[in-house]
Structure 1
């Protein structure tokens, strides 16, 4: 069969001209991410209900990575954000605390042998919290002044919570989550690209290269396309990730001062 003529590529969306434009475009992206996250949570619920642990673990990873890609917005979600993706550290009793909920609680349960009886109520609460956040999203604004700061904070949080092991609840999938944080950072950078170029010509392209290098270092830790436990990745590969991360964090730290006079 002969292929027909290729359809013309869709034009790239216009680069936001102001910080307010960037925030508005970002809120649209966040709404799409949260809808995607809800679909992963429904798949997760079905897999847990069917006793399919391997599929449930993959659905959890898909959901958690989607949350990481929300990126600059999740710091604005308040108590709902803490309920959707908390950590047990700092809670009295740790993972046994009844206030421990959301994606990290589900991670703990899946990797510690808990079944549907224990996890379905947690997943149902997660779905309810996602619905509540979706309803509240129009009034949950990222302040324009926060966007440059958040661009740096996404990967700073990845270093603190994922690659340190502090946030892990048993999956060992720190590198997979850090990879999603790279995606989230790139998304925010793309929205701020024109504004940043006006302040420091050539800097967005430099950041593109550094983020690509970090993404490649993270991808290189996979085995046959599968993410593995961080502790089982050879030291040299982990060092390559940490080196690339340190380089891009140093560059990203220069961005907030460029917008400090706005």
Structure 2
């Protein structure tokens, strides 16, 4: 689906901080409660990095409450890292001049140090601090080795190559649909529409990844309009509304031709644009997030009632987006195997509603129990995929 903003995913990757349960998630920015023996005032800047932690008496394992104050005149990023391999346990991004925020991170026994990355200065590292106490602490941050842009370039290329390889298939699909429309064969057009739409929906075009081509191919009607009466709507959903409404097939001639032209342009333009390495980590989460926003709510159904087929294609797309990231995630995300199981469970749940003749049950026809199972499976997959975007966000190390 086409959408210009990325507000939903910004919540995942915009304010990253503490490493919890194997993934970077939002830091605690609220003031701490009553002082405890593990509460420290930490100063960072161009002339100091981590002063005040652990203070006198050394640090103990468990939850560390760190009020980090930027004493410099510019913004700074502060990381708590493993001195041996640079794994990040806490990442305080965008700490402005003179600003102070409180963060909490749970640590097991081991060596740690602060790394300070001023916006306009050279990186600094603080002294190595040994945290005493338990070697195993429930809920302790495991630390994640930062992902760099260089790490993501091969993944982005692999994903882009896969998409490029599917575009000729998509073009053949929409040409078949166009031929059906010109032949006046509505039944064949409906079948080929579904084939082409499923092909497109697995390509990871969520949140405008293909720009204007996505709008032309798979856009939604304007606010207050339907896919049938929006004169500016083109693409799959315009054709869907026309084919399934019983409108004269001649009304679908121009939209079918336009869809072929739009897919042809996408195939020609994509090799010069590809997928930005900075975005590749988002795709594996955004595709199903898009399904939740548009498919499950029924907003994208223009009359075919093939929402479940679309969600099934979105699961395919998610798995393809995740594939080139597995090498990066294997050592950074302990829940990777569980994430893959959740995707398989979601696929199984969706495909229970596929009939023996290949047709799909309408989403609106699911009973309460079936809908609850579908929603739960989708929610679980999204929950596990969200950290992937955060882990794969490139981070500064120098």
TM superposition score normalised by structure 1:
0.87
Q: CA deviation at 1:27?
A: 1.2
Residue in structure 1 matched with residue 82 of structure 2 by the alignment: none
Residue in structure 1 matched with residue 166 of structure 2 by the alignment: 33
Equivalent residues of 2:164, 2:271 under 8 A apart: no
Residues 81 and 59 of structure 1: CA distance in aligned 2, closer, same or farther (over 3 Å): same
Residues 260 and 46 of structure 1: CA distance in aligned 2, closer, same or farther (over 3 Å): closer
Q: Which one of 220, 241, 255 corresponds to residue 352 of structure 2?
A: 220
Equivalent residues of 2:227, 2:241 under 8 A apart: no
Q: CA deviation at 1:187?
A: 0.6
CA distance in 2 between counterparts of 1:119 and 1:40 reads 16
Task: Determine if the alignment matches structure 1 residue 111 to structure 2 residue 111.
Answer: no
Residues 89 and 163 of structure 1: CA distance in aligned 2, closer, same or farther (over 3 Å): farther
Q: CA deviation at 1:236?
A: 1.8
**Which deviates further from its counterpart, 210-219 or 148-157?**
148-157
TM superposition score normalised by structure 2:
0.59
Residue in structure 1 matched with residue 343 of structure 2 by the alignment: 211
Give matches, 1:113-262, under 5 Å.
Answer: 113-201=246-334, 203-224=335-356, 225-262=358-395
CA distance in 2 between counterparts of 1:74 and 1:33 reads 19
CA distance in 1 between counterparts of 2:224 and 2:214 reads 16
Residue in structure 2 matched with residue 3 of structure 1 by the alignment: none
Equivalent residues of 2:207, 2:290 under 8 A apart: no
Q: Which one of 79, 87, 90 corresponds to residue 212 of structure 2?
A: 79
Equivalent residues of 1:179, 1:215 under 8 A apart: yes
Helix, strand or coil for the counterpart of 1:37?
A: helix
- 1 or 2 for the larger relative contact order (CA 8 Å, sep ≥6)? 1
Residues 218 and 46 of structure 1: CA distance in aligned 2, closer, same or farther (over 3 Å): same
Equivalent residues of 1:40, 1:62 under 8 A apart: yes
Q: CA deviation at 1:97?
A: 2.4
Helix, strand or coil for the counterpart of 2:331?
A: helix
Q: CA deviation at 1:146?
A: 1.1
Residue in structure 1 matched with residue 176 of structure 2 by the alignment: 43
Larger-Rg structure: 2
Would you tell me which structure has more helix in proportion to its own residues? 1
Mind listing any 5+ residue stretches in structure 2 that lack a counterpart?
1-149
Q: CA deviation at 1:89?
A: 3.9
Residues 47 and 186 of structure 1: CA distance in aligned 2, closer, same or farther (over 3 Å): same
**RMSD, aligned CA:** 1.8
Q: Which one of 97, 101, 109 corresponds to residue 230 of structure 2?
A: 97
Residue in structure 2 matched with residue 63 of structure 1 by the alignment: 196
Residues 261 and 136 of structure 1: CA distance in aligned 2, closer, same or farther (over 3 Å): closer
CA distance in 2 between counterparts of 1:60 and 1:68 reads 12
Helix, strand or coil for the counterpart of 1:32?
A: helix
Would you tell me which structure has more strand in proportion to its own residues? 2
Equivalent residues of 1:85, 1:104 under 8 A apart: yes
Q: CA deviation at 1:91?
A: 6.3
4+ aligned runs moved over 4 Å, structure 1 = 91-94
Q: Deviations over 1:52-85 (max 9, x none)?
A: 2222111111111111110157732211110110
